[in-house]
Amino acid sequence: MPSPLRNGDTPLPAGAGGPPHRHQGRHFLSSVSEHKIRRLIALILLLRLAAFCFSLSAAIFMSTNSSRSPASPSWLHFHPFRFVFAANGIVAAYSLFEMGASIWEILKGATLLPESLQLWFDFSHDQVFAYILLSAEAAGLTEAQGKACAGAAESGGFCLQSYISVGLGFAGFAFLALSTLLSAYRVASYIITGSPFHF
Amino acid sequence: MPSPLRNGDTPLPAGAGGPPHRHQGRHFLSSVSEHKIRRLIALILLLRLAAFCFSLSAAIFMSTNSSRSPASPSWLHFHPFRFVFAANGIVAAYSLFEMGASIWEILKGATLLPESLQLWFDFSHDQVFAYILLSAEAAGLTEAQGKACAGAAESGGFCLQSYISVGLGFAGFAFLALSTLLSAYRVASYIITGSPFHF
């Protein structure tokens, strides 16, 4: 069922439909695209920054969740909380790397790794890390609602801090999931048109 | 950075590069594509079927996890297990609907809903349900490892059946995640080229 409207025939400015005007149309398109590409990379950078901030603070909140008093429970005793810490730490490190890659792309106009490798790397890691982070947060939330806070009126601070860490992690996941959408679009666009952005 | 290689110019058989041969090339492409499209829809149908089977059996395993003896615990007492049941039930129903839509597409050669609506519907629901199912399974696994099986030598069968249900749900998630990749590709291809499949 391929529709008769194909890529070369995407809406051009009026009168640029026929082959003689094609170059003019493409020039117009490419200057518009360049502007859009910069905006899209800036948007990706912003999402990465948000994911980095949230997951880093989730990891910090979780890892400092034991110093209150020697008697209070430590996050290290709860496997799901270790998972939350590890997943958030990995996502924070990955987001930092990706922010560097985006800034490089904005400054140099080319990807850090070879283009196809970079696009596949971004998409696959986004997708996998989003799944890992989400399952860590779901496990952490279940643990916080179950064992970790059961009959622990004395460890109210511990309980609250776990919830905050899990909540921050969920926010980090949301931004990671959004950047997964963009990197999926980029890789699909690269497969289909040979260019990472097509409008 | 749009590359000069655009969609209309994807590799054609030798000698079909110029405009006079374009129609011949497109005809060749379209007969190849039609074969590939059928194969891809069949693959999607297979993934849907697998997701349906696994999530349905996960839901059944979870919902029958209380009838052993009046004294043994019921899955209804554990919120994460209710979440596992609900998520698997939703995914099973959705997969059944999508299998119907795929079969319709194979038989009639057109999508059940209007094309763009169908593609967006598939992709968004795949993505969201995959996230929901994954977090349900992670929560269920944490509950099984924590409260549900704690000090329950007498409820060994209950514990085991919970694990089996969660495991089946994870398998259902894996197939749903794979079909998310395909539906993401379809929707991106539709945005970029106006056709849900482009090779």
The ipTM assigned to this model is 0.80
**Which positions ≥6 away from A9 have C-beta within 8 Å?**
B8
Tell me which DSSP letter residue A77 carries. Answer: G
pLDDT tens per residue across span A91-149:
999 999 999 999 999 898 888 889 899 999 999 999 999 999 999 999 999 998 887 77
Q: SS3 breakdown of chain A: % helix, strand, coil, rounded to 5? A: 75, 0, 25
Among B29, B119, B192, B198, which would you mutate to test the A interface (most chain A Cβ atoms within 10 Å of its Cβ)? B192
Site of tokens 């596949």: A120
Q: How far is residue B193's CA from residue B199's CA, in Å, rounded to a whole number?
A: 11
Structure tokens at A122: 């971004």
State residue A150's pLDDT score.
72
Q: What is the total count of domains within chain A?
A: 1
In a domain, A95, yes or no: yes
Please work out, in degrees rounded to the nearest 5, the angle formed at the alpha carbon of residue B158 by the alpha carbons of B157 and B164.
Answer: 85
* Section A153-173 average pLDDT: 86
CA B167 → CA A74, B136, B159, B171, distances in Å?
A: 29, 11, 12, 6
Which of these, A148, A74, A199, lies nearest to B150 by C-alpha position? A148
Among A176, A192, A197, which would you mutate to test the B interface (most chain B Cβ atoms within 10 Å of its Cβ)? A192
Burial of B103 (0-12, 13-18, 19+ CB in 10 A): middle
In a domain, A39, yes or no: yes
Instruction: Work out the number of other CB atoms within 10 angstroms of the CB of residue B154.
Output: 11
Q: Is the Cβ pair A7, B8 closer than 8 Å? A: yes
State residue A195's pLDDT score.
79
Least CB-CB distance to B139: which of A2, A138, A147? A138
In a domain, B11, yes or no: no
* Section A15-41 average pLDDT: 58
In a domain, A198, yes or no: no
Q: How far is residue A77's CA from residue A117's CA, in Å, rounded to a whole number?
A: 40
* Section A166-172 average pLDDT: 97
Question: Which chain B residues are Cβ-neighbours of A197 within 8 angstroms?
Answer: 1-2
In a domain, B8, yes or no: no
Structure tokens at A124: 């696959």
In a domain, B16, yes or no: no
Residue type, position B164, single letter: I
Average pLDDT of every residue of chain A: 82
CA B45 → CA B38, B52, B61, B94, distances in Å?
A: 10, 10, 24, 13
In a domain, A93, yes or no: yes
Structure tokens at B114: 């209007």
Q: What is the DSSP string of B67-81?
A: -S-TTS--GGG-HHH
A78 Cα to chain B: minimum distance (Å): 10
Full domain range(s) for residue A144: 34-193
Q: What are phi and psi of A122, to 5 degrees?
A: -60, -50
A64 Cα to chain B: minimum distance (Å): 22
- Which helix (H) or strand (E) segment holds residue B104: the answer is helix B79-108
Which of these, B157, B75, B26, B76, lies nearest to A9 by C-alpha position? B26
Question: Which chain A residues are Cβ-neighbours of B185 within 8 angstroms?
Answer: 188, 191
Q: Is the Cβ pair B198, A2 closer than 8 Å? A: yes
Q: What are phi and psi of B6, to 5 degrees?
A: -110, -175
Q: What are phi and psi of A114, to 5 degrees?
A: -55, 145
Which range has the worst mean pLDDT, A10-14, A80-84, A144-148?
Answer: A10-14
CA B72 → CA A51, A117, A161, distances in Å?
A: 43, 54, 34
Q: pLDDT of chain B along its 199 residues, tens only?
A: 344 444 444 443 443 333 444 344 444 556 667 788 888 899 999 999 999 999 999 999 999 987 556 666 788 888 999 999 999 999 999 999 999 999 999 898 888 889 899 999 999 999 999 999 999 999 999 998 887 777 654 566 888 899 999 999 999 999 999 999 999 999 998 988 887 776 5
In a domain, B133, yes or no: yes
Instruction: Work out the number of other CB atoms within 10 angstroms of the CB of residue A10.
Output: 16
Q: How far is residue B174's CA from residue A57's CA, in Å, rounded to a whole number?
A: 30
Instruction: Please determine, for residue A19, whether its predicted confidence score (pLDDT) is greater than 50.
Output: no
User: Within a 13 Å sphere around the CA of B118, how many CA atoms are in the beta-carbon half?
Assistant: 18
Instruction: Please determine, for residue A6, whether its predicted confidence score (pLDDT) is greater than 60.
Output: no
